[in-house]
A and B are shown apart, each in its own frame.
Chain A
């Protein structure tokens, strides 16, 4: 067959190009998707944003819709604070049955805030709306007498609060975790103070579609939607994996003394597995500290660079 009979193949390649295809972009852009809530839940509520606020408590997870359409500044601020980890390890300090469960200010959390987290905290002006305060509503707390003093503390309504309507900003609504909320409400109180600490271990922002899929997985597998961040054995694993990585590196750099190609490659695999373990453990921590993030990033690039020597014939 002569080469000149190949142009149809070039044509095919050209067609492929202009129609284009990609299984995964190197710098993927978020793919929009819409949540599909039962109509009964969405009635009388403003349109929910794509993000979901997840509060992880010892009793389970509370998942909230966020209302960007009626409280854009509040949602923006809460999303920013949560993503920066400002709200982690806070607690619900006020519990009034049938009325309100209130989260503490970020300054009262267990881990001290770092300077960049403190910089994120600012006052947000009231964003009044006609959306009523009812059970499950997220309402921004503020200082009495100053309607524009909302910062980090907010409440989950446990019953109707018509006297709050228009005076406090409503910025979200409980979507799932009603049973968790009911459990929390049963905690005994001293006045309006819970007798045990109601910890908000971790607050997270999720994409609605991703959260839906994660919940489906949880339902199918019966597992808990926990994060590695909560792993109590992390230090032990850190040492084990770090040792693994160190030994792998040692074998790799000494491979000239042995059968270089195979020994070196297996050593690199040990390094890769160890590095992946470290990555799993440190990844969530990196989101709290940009220096750790930069360190992990540089470490990954070094790992990829190291892998360039994989199965090289050696000396």
Chain B
């Protein structure tokens, strides 16, 4: 299950699209994507917020993120709504460049999490190489997307491009491959030294991101679903933690009932953030909802980057312990879900 949700599904889908589809952003791609945003992507944002705002203790630990950041981000949203042609596109641009950086943080975090579970401690140079490889996939592909000057529409906002020099992209791509080579040489060295195969699950998140951004980045029918895969990674962890915590508090509560409540709550929360909030924004500002949707998506996601940055730092053993378990552990005698 870890393999499938961390990267397996996205790789199967990549091979299917690569070899059995034109790669075009066909009707089924964007309609399916749009419809299922309601049940996967949007709930992922709601689930993150729920983890922070779900208890007073969490809010007390991170008061600036919980209580100040929303106002700052809301101020940016208001500015973008007030000047939708001047500020709006650049606000969206900020989010679009930040978003895959945020993906990279999660990828590195997952790699280190699985390494810790496997009892592996990376020496500094290997950790640096792994980090450079993961962030290199982000950096190179973001630069590739900024080489031209062709803007692109995003929910009726005309988002500009920087026009960075081509050599910068090529340089970053070569650095990424260099970092990948060092990383995999270290994996091989570890295998020889310990006389066993390096745990593939530790390497999987990095390889997965390479497929997401580098191999699949220029395939529209694949690119469309990368946020979904990222959301699935998070949902897997957040769901397991939710069920674990709930079972710790009330062992008699059914895991299925708890899961259903959690899923339903997050679908509702996601709808509030990505549908009803832009709707209200359009009603209050008089701006078309297509435009407010683009601006609110950027705002909600920037807020999410902050929240996601602290929820894993919460000083509670109930967070650390499920993170250190695999799905097998959770359903086994050690886990509380069983």
Binding site for B on A (CB under 8 A): 1-6, 9-10, 13-14, 16-31, 33, 83-84, 205-207, 209-214, 216-218, 220-221, 225-228, 261-262, 265-266, 269, 272-273, 276, 279-280, 283-284, 286-287, 290-291, 293-294, 296-297, 300-301, 304, 307-308, 310-313
Contact = CB atoms under 8 A, between A and B. Distances in A.
A301 to B, nearest CB: 7
Given A1-B254, A28-B96, A217-B287, A23 B297 contact: yes
B141 interface: yes
B69 interface: yes
A9 B259 contact: yes
B165 A290 contact: yes
A225 B153 contact: no
A246 B131 CA distance: 28
A23 B273 CA distance: 12
Interface residues of B, number: 103
B162 A20 contact: no
B57 to A, nearest CB: 15
A19 B164 contact: no
Is chain A's binding surface mostly helix, strand, loop or mixed? Answer: helix
What are the nearest 6 A-B pairs in CB distance?
A21-B36, A213-B156, A1-B254, A293-B162, A26-B100, A265-B64
B10 to A, nearest CB: 8
A16 B142 contact: no
A140 to B, nearest CB: 22
16 contacts: A4-B331, A6-B337, A21-B33, A22-B224, A23-B41, A24-B297, A25-B227, A27-B100, A29-B223, A206-B158, A207-B151, A262-B64, A293-B162, A297-B164, A308-B105, A310-B309
Given A22-B228, A213-B291, A293-B163, A28 B152 contact: yes
A280 B87 CA distance: 7
Nearest to B65: A311
B100 A308 contact: no
Contacts of B151: 205-207
Interface in B38-68: 38-42, 62-65, 68
Contacts of A266: 64, 68
Contacts of B86: 226-228, 280
A23 B33 CA distance: 7
Q: Among A28, A84, A218, which residue has the most Cβ atoms of chain B within 10 A?
A: A28
Nearest to B5: A13
B153 A307 contact: no
B84 A214 contact: yes
Nearest to B225: A20
Interface in B1-50: 1, 5, 9, 13, 25, 29-30, 32-42
Nearest to B162: A293
Interface in B290-305: 290-291, 297, 301, 305
Nearest to A224: B85
A239 B41 CA distance: 40
Contact of A225 (B85, B101, B162): B85
Interface of B: 1, 5, 9, 13, 25, 29-30, 32-42, 62-65, 68-69, 72, 76, 84-87, 90-91, 93-103, 105, 139, 141-143, 145-146, 149-154, 156-158, 160-165, 168, 213, 217, 220, 223-229, 231-232, 235, 254-257, 259, 263, 274, 286-288, 290-291, 297, 301, 305-306, 309-310, 313, 330-331, 335, 337-338
A291 to B, nearest CB: 8
A217 B256 contact: no
A221 B72 contact: no
A204 to B, nearest CB: 9
Nearest to B287: A217
B52 to A, nearest CB: 11
B32 A21 contact: yes
Given A20-B224, A290-B164, A294-B168, A28 B154 contact: yes
Contacts of B306: 307, 310
Contact of A20 (B1, B228, B297, B310): B228
A16 B224 contact: no
B162 A280 contact: no
Contact of B40 (A21, A83, A220, A293): A21
B257 A19 contact: no
Contact of A217 (B72, B93, B288): B288
A269 B64 contact: yes
Contact of A287 (B37, B39, B76, B162): B162
Contacts of B100: 26-27
B45 to A, nearest CB: 9
A308 to B, nearest CB: 7
Given A10-B1, A24-B301, A293-B162, 19 more contacts: A20-B13, A20-B29, A21-B39, A21-B225, A23-B41, A25-B223, A25-B226, A26-B99, A27-B141, A27-B142, A207-B151, A209-B156, A210-B153, A269-B69, A286-B162, A287-B162, A307-B305, A311-B64, A311-B310
B256 A9 contact: yes
Nearest to A264: B64
A205 B152 CA distance: 10
B318 to A, nearest CB: 18
A280 B83 CA distance: 11
Contacts of A286: 162-163
